[in-house]
């Protein structure tokens, strides 16, 4: 009886590991196929023209809220 339970646990462990690997691969492949690829110059423009002003604004708001709360 114990040997049968051990084999069942081992089989379930292997099945769960393979399922997780399959899901990880499926999600990563699906994302690669559905989202457009961005060129390096597009990523640089995104960083400098969009993300940098947002992060500086966030820094300004956070600093000002901390100074006001003092």
pTM: 0.48
Structure tokens at 6: 């051990």
* pLDDT tens-digit readout, 5-54: 788 889 999 999 999 999 999 999 998 889 888 889 998 999 999 999 99
Q: Could you tell me the sign of the dihedral formed by the alpha carbons of 14, 16, 17, 18, in that order?
A: positive
Rounded distance between C-alpha atoms, residue 46 and residue 10, angstroms: 48
1 pLDDT band (50/70/90 cuts)? low
């Amino acid at each position: 009886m114990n040997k049968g339970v051990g084999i069942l646990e081992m089989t379930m462990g292997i099945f769960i590991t393979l399922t997780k690997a399959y899901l990880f691969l499926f999600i990563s492949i699906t994302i690669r196929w559905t989202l457009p690829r961005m060129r390096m110059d597009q990523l640089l423009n995104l960083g400098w023209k969009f993300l940098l002003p947002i992060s500086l604004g966030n820094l300004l708001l956070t600093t000002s809220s901390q100074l006001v709360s003092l």
